[in-house]
Amino acid sequence: MAYILNFKELDKTSIPSVGGKNASLGEMIKAGIRVPPGFAVTTTCYEQFILGTEIKDDIFGLLADLDPDDVDALNTAASRVRALIIEATITPEIADTIKEGYHQLCRQCGLDSIPVAVRSSATAEDLPTASFAGQQDTYLWIEGADNVLNRVQRCWASLFTARAIAYRTKNNFPHDKVLISVGVQQMVNSRAAGVMFTLNPIDGDPSKVVIEGSWGLGETVVSGTVNPDRFVVDKVVMETSEKTVSAKHIECIFDHEKAEVINADVSEERQSVCCLADQEVKALATVAKIIEKHYGRPMDIEWAIDGTIDFPDNIFIVQARPETVWGQREKKSVLGNKSGYQLLMEQAMKRIKIP
């Protein structure tokens, strides 16, 4: 199995080698959705890394016979395992492959050097009974092959946080069976970003796309640190039936001086400006419909609008996963087994109460 795979080569059958997130990105590219280009560092690569650097036995030795309730022991073991992974010198074969992957991505984008997001993509992540979502790392705005390599290593290490170790130990999930893949993806120059659902999460209305967005990167919306702008769009007639513009007091942006992602204050004036143009709202809803149709189930989608590109090429999908609240409910009849006349009779008997 290859060490790296371009997103274009992936689909949902690739989960064992590239994890859920990466496979889902490949799947969307195949469905014609605009996803920022990138490549996956496969689980094979991770396996070869711990083999080639000869740290494998040390890692699993440290984790053996751990008491998941002994917090100190757990923390010590976790940080030692992570140090092993981060400090190991990657074998040249692997290092060159990943670096070349980055250079190829730069060439694919037509630039000498591009900022990328480096994210872990665990193979067990999407198992509902073993949810590790959010426990692995994401590094934004990384530039240069060596930096990318370094963040890939850190992502690998994120498989061994104290919490993840405790969780697996408690659930008898063997540590050596959990593999990790890493995604390296071009950074969207995010003017606005957020999430959207292919149904209304409030009432389960399947005819709506609900979009929430805010300035900057989507992290503020995902984490709930701002009240996002909210849009409800009808999937059939494509009318925006609700539009709520909130005061978005902070935005998550990349600080080029500090070379890190920060939460910056938003000027009072811009706080109450709607973060999406009407045509962007409609375009996002259209993409949401395509994604839902492709997966055949309600979806929860992360999106970003690139501020340096013109509409409609500025709309990117960065993540899509099944919606879990309404999507898992049993499909029950709402109207009951009634004829048009029965429904008419019911209507005729109705009185509208005024409270």
Partner 1 sequence: MADDASVRFPDPHEFLLPDELKDWEEMYPSHHLFSEDRAEWEKQQFWYQDKIHAPEPVPPLDHIFQEAWQIALSQYTTRVFCIPPAQGIAQRMVGGYLYICAIAPPPDEIIGKKAQLFEKRVFYVFEHYEELWDKWLKKFQALGKEMAEIEVPKEMPEFVPEDQVLPAPTGSYVSYDLIAGFNKLVNNMIKGWQYHFEMLNLTYLAYLMFADVSRKLFPGISESAIGKMVAGAYVSMFRPEEELCKLARKAMENPAVAAILKGDDSPAEKVSALSESAEGKDWLAAYDKAKNPWFFVSCGSGWYHHEGSWINTPEIPYGYIKSYVERLERGETIERALDEISTERDEIVEGYRELIKTDEDLKAFNDAYNTIRTIYRYAEDHLFWVEHWYHTIWFSKIRQFGKLLVANDMLDSVDDIFMFNRYEIPELLTEVSTGWALGVDIPMRGNYYKAKAAKRKKILEAAREWNPIPALGVPPEEIAEPFTIMLWGITTDKVKEWLKGVDASADGNLSELKGFASSAGVVEGPARVLKLLKDITKVQPGEILVCPTTNPSWAPIFTNIKAAVTDIGGLTSHAAIVCREYGIPSVTGTGMATTAIKTGDILHVDGDTGVVTIVKKVDEA
- With a CB cutoff of 8 Å and minimum separation 6, the contacts of 178 are 122, 123, 124, 159, 168
For the CB of residue 197, give the shortest distance to partner 1 in the complex, in Å: 13
Give 2 or 31: the residue with its C-beta nearer to partner 1: 31
Give 139 or 231: the residue with its C-beta nearer to partner 1: 231
For the CB of residue 243, give the shortest distance to partner 1 in the complex, in Å: 7
For the CB of residue 214, give the shortest distance to partner 1 in the complex, in Å: 21
For the CB of residue 327, give the shortest distance to partner 1 in the complex, in Å: 11
Return d(Cα 20, Cα 32) in angstroms, integer.
19
Give the N- to C-terminal CA distance of the chain in Å, as an integer. 67
C-alpha of 85 from chain center: 24
For the CB of residue 148, give the shortest distance to partner 1 in the complex, in Å: 43
Which residues of this chain interact with partner 1, rule CB under 8 A? 200, 203-208, 232, 234-237, 239-243, 278, 331-341, 343-355
3-state secondary structure 166-188: HHHHHCCCCHHHCCEEEEEEECC
Residue 348, Cβ density class (10 Å: 0-12 exposed, 13-18 middle, ≥19 buried): exposed
Give 30 or 235: the residue with its C-beta nearer to partner 1: 235
- The secondary structure of residue 13, as a DSSP letter, is G
CB-CB contact of 194 with 119 (8 Å): no
For the CB of residue 322, give the shortest distance to partner 1 in the complex, in Å: 16
Give 163 or 338: the residue with its C-beta nearer to partner 1: 338
**Phi, psi angle pair for 27, to nearest 5°:** -60, -45
Cα dihedral 217→223→225→227 (10° resolution)? 80
Give 59 or 232: the residue with its C-beta nearer to partner 1: 232
- The secondary structure of residue 355, as a DSSP letter, is -
For the CB of residue 202, give the shortest distance to partner 1 in the complex, in Å: 9
Q: Which of 338, 331, 336 has the alpha carbon at shortest distance from 204?
A: 331
Give 47 or 234: the residue with its C-beta nearer to partner 1: 234
For the CB of residue 31, give the shortest distance to partner 1 in the complex, in Å: 18
Cα dihedral 160→163→166→172 (10° resolution)? -80
Give 257 or 341: the residue with its C-beta nearer to partner 1: 341
What single string gives the DSSP state of each residue in 91-142?
PHHHHHHHHHHHHHHHHHTTSS---EEEEEEETTTT-GGG--TT-S-EEEEE
Give 103 or 243: the residue with its C-beta nearer to partner 1: 243
**Phi, psi angle pair for 317, to nearest 5°:** -105, 130
Give 46 or 231: the residue with its C-beta nearer to partner 1: 231
CB atoms within 10 A of CB 166: 19
For the CB of residue 32, give the shortest distance to partner 1 in the complex, in Å: 19
